[in-house]
Amino acid sequence: MSRPLQAATLAVRTGIESDPAQGAVVPPIYLSTNYAFKGFDQKRDFDYSRSGNPTRSVLAEAMTKLEGGCDSVITNTGMSAVNLVTALLNPGDLLIAPHDCYGGSYRLFDSLAKKGAFEVVFIDQSNESELQKALERNPRLVWLETPSNPLLRIVDVQKICSMAKSVGALIAVDNTFLSPALQQPLLLGADIVVHSATKYLNGHSDVVAGVVVSKDPELAEKLSWWANCLGLTGGAFDSYLILRGLRTLNVRMRTHQENALQLAHYLTDNPWVSHVYYPGLESDPGHQLAKKQQAGFGGMLSFELAMDLDQMKLLLASLELFSLAESLGGVESLVCHPATMTHAAMSEEALENAGVSQRLIRLSVGLEDGHDLVADLAQAFARIA
Ligand SMILES: *Cc1c(COP(=O)(O)O)cnc(C)c1O
């Protein structure tokens, strides 16, 4: 075929009809931990499932294609994917990370730095002079996460990559919030992409896993060596489920964001809501940048309530189609109160700095009918006196 296959096709077709034993259309699950040698000193493609597993390999191949990389490591959690990337750092190396990165990543970077594994500075990466000053310290690695959680702030990946490249730093992007269907950081200049596959990649809230995709073979080799050495690689059954989720990634992302935009418009017009954070709204400060570097605006949105805390609790308790739960990216809609849930470990001051107020609500908009979701919000707001 002359033209390169599109992402939706790659997500559906990778590994299909690749089984030499039975011609299974869907790649089978290899649960075996070990693989017999053909004979003395004659290893097959796989020997031991921590080091390599055929089912995990198909998922890795699909993720590599979708992100436009050269190889991927599938890890047992999103956090072990983040952890794996830090294995590239030596004592004395500097990591620059966003002050509003995922809480678990913040905790990991901070804790490893306190043990002397490397040094870390957390900065506001949208502030160019702050970023420039940090880059003058010659970091080994710059960590990006865009859109941020929970305020959906967008930073310019291409610009930061070229600034970081000029001082010889590696760039890793946590692409969990958008998935490769909506953002491909390697094509914008990054070296490494990290995912919590727990979220949109699997998409059905029934697997915890992660992915690290590398742009070049040398990095890929190092990361897969460390993944095996540290024992961070993902399980075969999990890989099978994520691959099954990945088949529908593109259609899911499309509906997630259609619904999110519908809810964002409804909330913008709601007198109980003082602010809506969604880059898909033209009024959002990240809108133009998101349009430039993303293929869509995603399914996450946050909003600020203009009501007292008792009214807020009644609102949350009245919702029927949004489960009060952490995590995101599943087919089911979720509502989260970041200050007491996902961001509870942060001090009051840190919450304030990050703009996470007690009246901030985050939605992971699911794949239910969009009008049903709006109607559910409307009936819950109608109960507030
Ligand atoms: C959930 C999440 C992680 C951590 O992934 P787990 O699968 O929970 O270990 C990392 N980054 C982001 C942006 C996340 O949302």
CATH number for the domain spanning 212: value is: 3.40.640.10
Cα–Cα distance for residue pair 142/101, rounded to 1 Å: 12
In a domain, 19, yes or no: yes
pLDDT band at 1 (very low <50, low <70, confident <90, very high): low
In a domain, 157, yes or no: yes
Q: Is the pLDDT of residue 345 over 90?
A: no
User: What residues flank ligand 1, with Cβ below 6 Å?
Assistant: 77-79, 82, 102, 104-105, 145, 149, 174, 176, 196, 198-199, 208, 210
Print the domain residue range for 336.
249-382
Q: Is the pLDDT of residue 2 over 80?
A: no
CB 146 within 8 A of CB 173: yes
User: What is the pLDDT averaged over residues 200-223?
Assistant: 98
User: What is the pLDDT averaged over residues 90-107?
Assistant: 94
CA dihedral 151, 377, 251, 70 (to 10 degrees): 20
Q: Ligand 1: which of 199, 205, 232, 336 to mutate, judged by most atoms within 8 Å of the beta carbon?
A: 199
CB 333 within 8 A of CB 373: yes
Regarding beta strands 360-364 and 210-214, do their DSSP bridges make them parallel or antiparallel, or are they unpaired? unpaired
pLDDT band at 288 (very low <50, low <70, confident <90, very high): very high
Does the model's pTM come out above 0.75?
Answer: yes
By alpha-carbon position, which residue is closest to atom 1 of ligand 1?
Answer: 196
pLDDT band at 352 (very low <50, low <70, confident <90, very high): confident
CB 89 within 8 A of CB 219: no
Q: 266 and 153, same structural domain?
A: no
Rounded to the nearest whole angstrom, what is the distance from the C-alpha of residue 353 to the centroid of ligand 1? Answer: 21
| Mean pLDDT across the chain | 96
Q: SS3 string of the chain?
A: CCCCCCHHHHHHHCCCCCCCCCCCCCCCCCCCCECCCCECCECCCCCECCCCCHHHHHHHHHHHHHHCCCEEEEECCHHHHHHHHHCCCCCCCEEEEECCCCHHHHHHHHHHHHCCCCEEEEECCCCHHHHHHHHCCCCCEEEEECCCCCCCCCCCHHHHHHHHHCCCCEEEEECCCCCCCCCCHHHHCCCEEEEECCCCCCCCCCCCCEEEEECCHHHHHHHHHHHHHHCCECCHHHHHHHHHHHCCHHHHHHHHHHHHHHHHHHHHCCCCEEEEECCCCCCCCCHHHHHHHCCCCCCEEEEEECCCHHHHHHHHHHCCCCEECCCCCCCCCEEECCCCCCCCCCCHHHHHHCCCCCCEEEEECCCCCHHHHHHHHHHHHHCCC
Residue 80 CA: nearest ligand 1 atom is 9
Q: 47 and 164, same structural domain?
A: yes
Structure tokens at 285: 């400060």
Among candidate residues 246, 266, 281, the one where a domain is terminated: 246
pLDDT tens-digit readout, 103-157? 899 999 999 999 999 999 999 999 999 999 999 999 999 999 999 999 999 999 9
Q: 260 and 227, same structural domain?
A: no
pLDDT band at 298 (very low <50, low <70, confident <90, very high): very high
Q: Ligand 1: which of 176, 182, 302 to mutate, judged by most atoms within 8 Å of the beta carbon?
A: 176
pLDDT band at 348 (very low <50, low <70, confident <90, very high): confident
Q: 329 and 197, same structural domain?
A: no
Rounded to the nearest whole angstrom, what is the distance from the C-alpha of residue 82 to the centroid of ligand 1? Answer: 9
User: What is the pLDDT averaged over residues 22-50?
Assistant: 96
Sheet holding 119-123, edge to edge: 71-75, 210-214, 192-196, 170-174, 141-145, 94-98, 119-123
Backbone angles phi, psi at 248, to 5 degrees: -105, 15
Looking at residue 26, its pLDDT comes to: 97
Please name the residues in contact with 246: beta carbons below 8 A apart, sequence gap of 6 or more.
Answer: 11, 59, 62, 63, 66, 201, 202
By alpha-carbon position, which residue is closest to atom 9 of ligand 1?
Answer: 78
Among candidate residues 228, 246, 264, the one where a domain is terminated: 246
CB 174 within 8 A of CB 144: yes
Rounded to the nearest whole angstrom, what is the distance from the C-alpha of residue 310 to the centroid of ligand 1? Answer: 30
Q: What share of the chain has pLDDT > 70, as a percent?
A: 100
Rounded to the nearest whole angstrom, what is the distance from the C-alpha of residue 311 to the centroid of ligand 1? Answer: 31
Rounded to the nearest whole angstrom, what is the distance from the C-alpha of residue 319 to the centroid of ligand 1? Answer: 25
Domain count, the chain: 2
Work out the angle between the directed axes of helices 78-86 and 103-114 (0-180°, nearest 10).
Answer: 40
Cα–Cα distance for residue pair 183/200, rounded to 1 Å: 13
Q: 314 and 181, same structural domain?
A: no
Q: 216 and 69, same structural domain?
A: yes
In a domain, 298, yes or no: yes
Catalytic positions are 50, 102, 174, 199
User: What is the pLDDT averaged over residues 282-290?
Assistant: 98
CB 143 within 8 A of CB 164: no
Q: 265 and 238, same structural domain?
A: no
Rounded to the nearest whole angstrom, what is the distance from the C-alpha of residue 145 to the centroid of ligand 1? Answer: 11
Q: Ligand 1: which of 102, 194, 326 to mutate, judged by most atoms within 8 Å of the beta carbon?
A: 102
Q: What share of the chain has pLDDT > 90, as a percent?
A: 93
In a domain, 2, yes or no: no
pLDDT tens-digit readout, 151-186? 999 999 999 999 999 999 999 999 999 999 999 999
Looking at residue 353, its pLDDT comes to: 79
Cα–Cα distance for residue pair 187/10, rounded to 1 Å: 17
Among candidate residues 186, 212, 246, the one where a domain is terminated: 246
In a domain, 1, yes or no: no
Q: 354 and 219, same structural domain?
A: no
